[in-house]
């Protein structure tokens, strides 16, 4: 640790700075009463263009971006670039989808996607499944953020050898994050996101200009990466795709694109916007982040050219691939700027982790607590339950780190993507049509989730020696095909989900099974902030709670 005093000092200063911002955020744009889920969990639905830009950008481009993607490219090559095309194709798709979700949610006061499903399909059971799915998928994603912080702390020598010493700094960071999220709700990550994005842009611009000059230029960087993968025995590794990984690349990119805005935290950031135009402008402008993502991904190749050797992992003989980027910065940046870079990664983990825990808490409060445990809960009681739940969710994320101990933290996000994709027929398709029967959607969810978990169970991780849940690349040979090619497990699972939903819907309609009452109207999906039909009940709830 003594060799990293400057780095630790800069990191600690910036980390404490954003922590203070997190605590004072409760006074930023604060209402008269924060004891309401609409205020604590959605920032009062009042965020404009710039705030939404930083909030959603900070929500989507996370420690996964800064740590896991370069680590995957460092280990597997071109296949890791799947994250770039999926962020390119996603925004035109969700330009059309998210404005409809915002309008119907604003019209009815929905806080979660499960709220929408409950009203659209008149099915508390389906809404419960959507809520459980969202919470389950979010847990490993939060763990991914905390792993990013741990990689930085490990590089600076701030972790010990024992299990407790190794995870103690993460527990401390978790406690600080939990405290200001509990107090300030969504306003905390919204305010901190300004600092987070500024630091990340600064670090990446400097990195792509400075590091190539230190490593002999881009030609030398790509030559070093190619030489490494040419010597690799793995059939899918290389700086270009080959026949073994092209199907996996395509299905992973498309599946990840569909999954990204199904995550509760993504929807939470969108629902906090004050009108439809804010969402339209952001969906048009957010692709600019894709350029940044492509540059970040190239850090994996730079680490190869720099001769970076990942630090040892938790198990004897293993290595921690998540330390690749922090080590690269430590080797080639001045100590003070390496501290800035480490802070960018750490803060880049805090913002999404806070939003994710809030989104999961909203799901539990609205769709489990109020639906099944206390229907007469007051707005203040809802807010209190959400705050406590956000703490429990973070605790679960820490448990994921301690007990799962993945070699590549990206495995966690990919597994979460397989899970959250199973909500697509209910949420995404449901925004455009109610043709699918609620019973068919439930059957499809069961089929897709069952198949998805079976496929994940069959996937080993050759690096860590884990026999199960080693990633999301499912071998087609398991289906009886004579091939070494793989496919994204989530893509197959959601196709089966949708197919079963269609078949069962046809059967239930033929049998005359009641399909419930649609609680929405066609023009709800076009409502804007100044629409006179906006449901004022939640505003009345705030006033009542203030009394």
In the 8-state DSSP scheme, what is residue 461?
Answer: B
Residue 435, SS3 per DSSP: coil
Instruction: Note the pLDDT tens digit of each residue in 470-511.
Output: 778 888 887 777 677 888 999 999 999 999 999 999 999 999
Instruction: Note the pLDDT tens digit of each residue in 36-88.
Output: 888 888 888 889 888 888 888 877 777 767 888 898 899 888 888 888 888 88
CA nearest 186: which of 275, 59, 91, 65?
59
Mean pLDDT of 429-449: 96
pLDDT of 513: 93
User: Which residues are CB-neighbours of 233 under 8 A, at least 6 positions away?
Assistant: none
Q: Band the pLDDT of 307: cuts 50, 70, 90.
A: very high
Instruction: Output the average pLDDT for the chain.
Output: 85
pLDDT of 303: 94
Question: What are the b/e assignments for 152-179, b being 16+ CB within 10 Å?
Answer: bbbbbebbeeeeeebbebbeebbebbbe
**Could you give the percent of the chain with pLDDT greater than 70?**
89
The C-alpha atoms of residue 491 and residue 477 are separated, in whole angstroms, by: 16
| H helix intervals, 63-186 | 63, 69-76, 83-108, 113-121, 124-155, 163-184
pLDDT of 394: 83
CA distances 431 to 51, 121, 147, 255, 309, Å, are 26, 11, 35, 19, 48
pLDDT of 546: 33
Instruction: Note the pLDDT tens digit of each residue in 185-211.
Output: 898 888 898 888 888 889 999 999 999
CA distances 118 to 61, 121, 308, 533, Å, are 30, 6, 51, 20
pLDDT higher than threshold 50 for residue 547 = no
Three-state secondary structure readout of 352-386: HHHHHHHHHHHHHHHHHHHHHHCCCCCHHHHHHHH
pLDDT of 6: 92
Pairing of strands 311-312, 486-488: unpaired
Tokens 């035109």 found at: 92
The C-alpha atoms of residue 375 and residue 388 are separated, in whole angstroms, by: 18
The C-alpha atoms of residue 152 and residue 154 are separated, in whole angstroms, by: 5
The structural domains of the chain, with segments of one domain joined by +, span: 2-413
Nearest-10 crossing angle of helices 113-121, 83-108: 60
CA nearest 4: which of 338, 274, 229, 240?
338
Q: Band the pLDDT of 438: cuts 50, 70, 90.
A: very high
User: Which residues are CB-neighbours of 522 under 8 A, at least 6 positions away?
Assistant: none
In the 8-state DSSP scheme, what is residue 47?
Answer: B
- DSSP E strand stretches across 288-429: 311-312, 319-320
Instruction: Note the pLDDT tens digit of each residue in 216-251.
Output: 999 999 999 999 988 877 666 788 888 778 888 889
Taking only Cα atoms into account, the Rg of the chain, rounded to an integer number of angstroms, comes to 23
pLDDT higher than threshold 60 for residue 1 = no
Tell the CATH topology of 2-413. Answer: Sodium/glucose cotransporter (1.20.1730)
pLDDT of 32: 66
pLDDT higher than threshold 70 for residue 402 = no
Q: Band the pLDDT of 100: cuts 50, 70, 90.
A: very high
Task: Please answer whether residues 31 and 39 qualify as being in contact, where contact means their C-beta atoms are separated by less than 8 angstroms.
Answer: yes
Task: Look up residue 532 and give its two tokens.
Answer: 């006179």
Measure CA 455 to chain center. Answer: 21
Task: Please answer whether residues 351 and 58 qualify as being in contact, where contact means their C-beta atoms are separated by less than 8 angstroms.
Answer: yes
Greatest C-alpha distance within the chain: 73
CA nearest 378: which of 543, 538, 545, 536?
545
Task: Look up residue 326 and give its two tokens.
Answer: 């922090």
pLDDT higher than threshold 80 for residue 131 = yes
Task: Look up residue 165 and give its two tokens.
Answer: 């010493």
Instruction: Note the pLDDT tens digit of each residue in 2-38.
Output: 578 999 999 989 988 988 998 888 777 777 677 788 8
Pairing of strands 311-312, 473-475: unpaired
pLDDT of 433: 95
CA nearest 178: which of 418, 474, 325, 396?
396
pLDDT of 543: 35
């Amino acid at each position: 640790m003594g060799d990293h005093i400057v780095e630790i000092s800069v990191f600690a200063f910036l980390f404490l700075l954003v922590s203070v911002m997190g605590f004072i955020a409760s006074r930023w744009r604060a209402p008269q009463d924060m004891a309401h889920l609409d205020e604590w969990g959605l920032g009062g639905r009042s965020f404009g263009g710039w705030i939404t830009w930083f909030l959603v950008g900070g929500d989507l481009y996370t420690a996964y971006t800064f740590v896991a993607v370069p680590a995957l490219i460092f280990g597997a090559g071109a296949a890791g670039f799947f994250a770039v095309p999926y962020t390119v194709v996603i925004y035109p798709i969700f330009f059309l989808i998210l404005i409809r979700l915002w309008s119907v949610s604003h019209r009815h006061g929905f806080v979660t996607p499960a709220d929408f499903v409950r009203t659209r399909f008149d099915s508390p059971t389906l809404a419960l499944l959507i809520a459980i799915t969202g919470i389950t998928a979010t847990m490993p994603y939060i763990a991914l953020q905390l792993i990013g912080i741990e990689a930085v702390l490990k590089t600076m020598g701030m972790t010990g050898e024992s299990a407790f010493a190794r995870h103690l700094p993460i527990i401390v960071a978790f406690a600080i994050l939990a405290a200001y999220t509990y107090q300030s709700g969504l306003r905390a990550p919204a305010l901190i996101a300004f600092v987070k994005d500024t630091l990340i842009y600064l670090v990446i611009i400097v990195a792509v200009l400075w590091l190539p000059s230190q490593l002999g230029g881009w030609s030398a960087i790509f030559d070093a990466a190619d030489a490494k993968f040419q010597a690799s025995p793995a059939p899918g590794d290389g700086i270009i795709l080959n026949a073994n990984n092209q199907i996996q690349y395509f299905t992973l990119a498309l599946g990840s694109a569909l999954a990204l805005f199904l995550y509760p935290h993504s929807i939470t950031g969108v629902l906090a916007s004050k009108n439809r135009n804010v969402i339209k402008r952001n969906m048009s402008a957010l692709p600019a982040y894709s350029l940044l993502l492509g540059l970040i991904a190239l850090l994996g190749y730079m680490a190869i050219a720099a001769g970076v050797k990942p630090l040892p992992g938790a198990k004897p003989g293993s290595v921690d691939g998540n330390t690749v980027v922090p080590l690269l910065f430590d080797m080639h940046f001045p100590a003070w700027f390496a501290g800035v870079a480490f802070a960018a990664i750490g803060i880049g983990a805090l913002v999404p982790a806070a939003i994710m825990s809030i989104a999961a808490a909203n799901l539990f409060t609205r769709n489990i607590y109020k639906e099944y445990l206390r229907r007469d809960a007051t707005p203040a009681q809802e807010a209190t339950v959400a705050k406590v739940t956000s703490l429990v969710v973070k605790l679960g994320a820490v448990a994921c780190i301690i007990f799962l101990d993945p070699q590549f933290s990206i495995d966690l996000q990919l597994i979460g993507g397989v899970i959250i994709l199973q909500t697509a027929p209910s949420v995404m398709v449901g925004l455009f049509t109610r043709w699918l029967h609620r019973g068919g959607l439930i059957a499809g969810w069961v089929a897709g989730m069952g198949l998805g978990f079976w496929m994940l169970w069959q996937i080993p991780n050759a690096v860590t020696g884990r026999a199960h849940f080693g990633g999301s690349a499912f071998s087609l040979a398991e289906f009886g095909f004579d091939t070494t090619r793989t496919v994204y497990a989530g893509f197959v699972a959601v196709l089966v989900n949708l197919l079963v939903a269609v078949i069962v819907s046809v059967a239930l309609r033929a049998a005359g099974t009641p399909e419930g009452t649609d609680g929405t109207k066609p023009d709800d999906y076009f409502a804007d902030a100044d629409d006179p039909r906006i449901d004022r009940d939640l505003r009345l709830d705030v006033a009542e709670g203030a009394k």
